Amino acid sequence: VSACQAEVALFYGESALRSDEAPLLMEAAQEATLVLQAVVQPPAIDRAALEAVVAAMEGKGVTFEPGLSDEEIAQLESLCCISFPPDLRCFLQYRLPTSDRFTAWRQLAQLGLEKNFNEDFEDGVLFDVEHNDYWEEEMFGERPGVPAEARAKAEAAFKSKPLPRLIPIYSHRCMCSTPMEIGQAVLSIHQTDIIIYGDDLLCYFAAEFGFSLVRGRLDDG
């Protein structure tokens, strides 16, 4: 397949080719597109690392299906008002985990379901405000004496000062939509118990599923 033929397939589509040469040339064009994308914008996680992480997770019983498409990513970001960090997007577009407790991203996209993942976190905080004397004066102001009133005041504060959008990965482990950087931490959030569970996505997977850490381009530049 010549470079010229591949270019025809890339820019003019399959209809511009003879029927007998179309499948091979379109495959060449798609490969050329991937190469160009990698040159212009290197992946957040390199392919060798992706392959190793997926293999390690499969060894721990995690199941996968083909990764999300660009269209599915765009749909999910619109439906859920989120922006996938570059490394999480890279992983989900390589392979999509489908085991229990992983977020059912493809199902959300297929059903067109709008989802605010922050609601679960906020409900947990509000429960602790009302029942466990939790309070953040800097965010909520002075605490009322009545628990129900304290909950209402905290709830109003959430509405007036929205938190960064959370993106669930597995169970109650999540990342934030902002900042949109490669290598941000993965958090474990259970009500007001919040800890860093992994310094970045690959560290998190190794810690969560118990395998040796795999590295491969998680820098931001």
Q: What is the pLDDT of residues 101-116, one digit of tens each?
A: 999 999 999 999 899 9
Q: What is the pLDDT of residues 25-34, one digit of tens each?
A: 556 555 655 5
Phi, psi at 194, each rounded to 5°: -125, 120
Do residues 6 and 34 lie in contact, with contact meaning Cβ atoms separated by under 8 Å?
A: no
Among the ranges given (43-52, 151-160, 187-196), the one the predictor scored with the smallest mean pLDDT:
43-52
Which strands make up the sheet holding 173-176, listed edge to edge? 166-170, 173-176, 186-190, 193-198
**Which regions of 73-220 does DSSP assign to beta strands (E)?**
95-97, 166-170, 173-176, 186-190, 193-198
What percentage of the chain exceeds 90 in pLDDT?
Answer: 68
Report the C-alpha gap between 9 and 27 in whole angstroms: 9
pTM (whole model) above 0.85: no
Report the C-alpha gap between 37 and 32 in whole angstroms: 9
